[in-house]
Each structure stands twice: as structure tokens, then as C-alpha cells.
């Protein structure tokens, strides 16, 4: 996430085991998990490498997909939310906004993980598992947050999440749809300079 291992570069189990002073088993387990999250690629006979940055074309396709699916899902979610679900969304959004102190890059990557959970919960509450899985398989949040480290990326997203929560609390499907569309469009615009 923090690009301390450059995108596309080789990751050797031996080196990591030595560097972290642990056996190879936990290293292999960790790499397997990261592979599942799309952050590490395993190539037959070659081994592990850090996932490459997404291309501009893939980025555009990803945002197209999100804009087709997530605003509608937000509208459905808003109409189906109960107190417990709303509290869950507020909790995740709250933890994101409390991410002060510590290493900036660690903070940033934990924000990316929480943002992934926040969006996934909304898709879960919308009630269509196939749509939820389709987006989960893209590992959108890991890819987009690797593009750029900037406090603007997180601070502005927090305000947009707040607008979403207001719409959810009111059970207002139209407002939730609009808020999600704006959030995704602004997120895209914030990250576009990464390709310049
Ligand atoms: Zn978000």
C-alpha cells in the first residue's frame, strides 16, 4: 500500500524472512493473503512481485463500473437501512475520521482499508450479492489509494461520506444516490493528476 516495495518489483521469501527475522511459513501465508487482496502477484516459476500500478485505461474502466453500480446501490441501501446497519456505517466512518497521529503512510493505508469496508457495507445492505462480489474482486480501494499519498484524498472523502450518512439517516434514496455519485466523481478527479 505504501509503495515501500516498488510496484512490479520482485519479492523474495528468503529476503523477507531474513529481514523480518521469522521463518518462511508466516511470510508465505502473508503473501498469500496479499495475493488475495490483489496487492501481490504470484507468477508460476518466478515467484512473488508487488502488483503493478493500474493503468490509466483500467482506472477509467474501474470508475465507469463504480459509477454504474454504486450510486444505485446507495439508493437501495438507504431504503433498506435499519438502526443497526446505520450505526455500523457511522462506526466505520467515525474510525476513519479519527485516524490522527502516527506514520502518515500507515494512516493512509488504514484509511484505504476502512474506505473499502465502508463501501462494501453499503453494497451488502443494498442486497445484491453479485454486484457486491463484482466490485470486491476489483480491489478498487487498494489500487486507487496506491496512486497517490495526499491528505486531500482522505480529508475531502470524509466530508463526502458525511453527506452519504445524512442521506442514509433520512432514508432518502435519491439523496444517497446523488451523494454517492458525487463522491465517486470527486474521488476520480482527485486521483487523475497521478497520471500526469
Ligand atoms: Zn469512500
| Centre of ligand 1 from the C-alpha of residue 160, in Å | 8
| Centre of ligand 1 from the C-alpha of residue 81, in Å | 18
| Centre of ligand 1 from the C-alpha of residue 14, in Å | 37
Sheet holding 10-11, edge to edge: 10-11, 47-50, 40-43
pLDDT per residue as tens digits for the range 46-64: 899 999 988 999 999 999 9
Q: Is 187 in a helix, a strand, or coil?
A: helix
Q: With 70 as the cut, is the pLDDT of residue 30 above it?
A: yes
| Centre of ligand 1 from the C-alpha of residue 122, in Å | 10
Q: With 80 as the cut, is the pLDDT of residue 182 above it?
A: yes
Residue 171 — very low, low, confident or very high, per pLDDT cuts 50/70/90?
Answer: very high
Look-up of cell digits 485516524: 99
Residue 108 — very low, low, confident or very high, per pLDDT cuts 50/70/90?
Answer: confident
Instruction: Count Cβ atoms within 10 A of the Cβ of residue 100 and give its class: 0-12 exposed, 13-18 middle, 19 or more buried.
Output: exposed
| Centre of ligand 1 from the C-alpha of residue 46, in Å | 36
The set of cell numbers assigned to 19 is 529481514
Give the residue ranges of DSSP H helices in 23-103: 24-36, 56-80, 83-97
- Give the pLDDT of residue 186: 95
Residue 106 — very low, low, confident or very high, per pLDDT cuts 50/70/90?
Answer: confident
Q: How far is CA 15 from CA 6, 25, 30, 50, in A?
A: 15, 13, 14, 14
- Give the pLDDT of residue 95: 85
Dist CA 13 CA 27 (whole Å): 6
The set of cell numbers assigned to 149 is 499519498
| Centre of ligand 1 from the C-alpha of residue 43, in Å | 32
Report the predicted TM-score, pTM, of the whole model to 2 decimal places: 0.85
- Contacts for 15 with CB less than 8 Å, ≥ 6 apart: none
Q: CA angle at residue 119 from 102 to 56, to 5 degrees?
A: 85
First to last CA, the chain: 20
- Give the pLDDT of residue 100: 62
- Give the pLDDT of residue 99: 65
By the CB criterion, residues less than 5 angstroms from ion ligand 1 are 115
Residue 142 — very low, low, confident or very high, per pLDDT cuts 50/70/90?
Answer: confident
When pLDDT is averaged across residues 145-160 and rounded to a whole number, the result is 81
Amino acid at each position: 500500500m505504501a509503495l515501500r516495495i516498488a510496484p512490479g518489483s520482485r519479492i523474495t521469501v528468503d529476503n523477507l524472512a531474513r529481514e523480518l527475522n521469522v521463518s518462511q511459513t508466516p511470510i508465505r501465508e502473508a503473501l498469500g493473503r496479499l495475493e488475495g487482496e490483489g496487492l501481490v502477484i504470484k507468477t508460476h516459476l518466478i515467484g512473488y512481485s508487488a502488483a503493478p500500478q493500474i493503468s490509466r485505461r483500467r482506472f477509467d474502466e474501474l470508475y465507469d463500473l463504480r459509477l454504474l453500480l454504486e450510486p444505485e446501490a446507495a439508493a437501495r441501501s438507504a431504503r433498506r437501512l435499519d438502526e443497526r446497519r446505520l450505526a455500523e456505517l457511522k462506526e466505520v466512518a467515525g474510525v476513519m475520521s479519527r485516524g490522527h497521529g502516527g506514520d502518515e503512510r500507515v494512516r493512509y493505508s488504514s484509511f484505504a482499508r476502512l474506505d473499502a469496508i465502508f463501501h462494501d457495507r453499503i453494497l451488502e445492505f443494498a442486497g445484491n450479492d453479485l454486484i457486491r462480489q463484482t466490485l470486491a474482486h476489483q480491489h478498487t480501494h487498494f489500487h486507487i489509494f496506491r496512486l497517490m499519498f495526499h491528505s486531500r484524498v482522505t480529508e475531502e472523502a470524509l466530508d463526502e461520506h458525511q453527506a452519504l450518512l445524512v442521506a442514509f439517516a433520512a432514508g432518502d434514496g435519491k439523496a444517497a444516490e446523488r451523494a454517492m455519485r458525487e463522491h465517486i466523481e470527486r474521488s476520480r478527479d482527485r486521483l487523475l493528476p497521478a497520471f500526469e
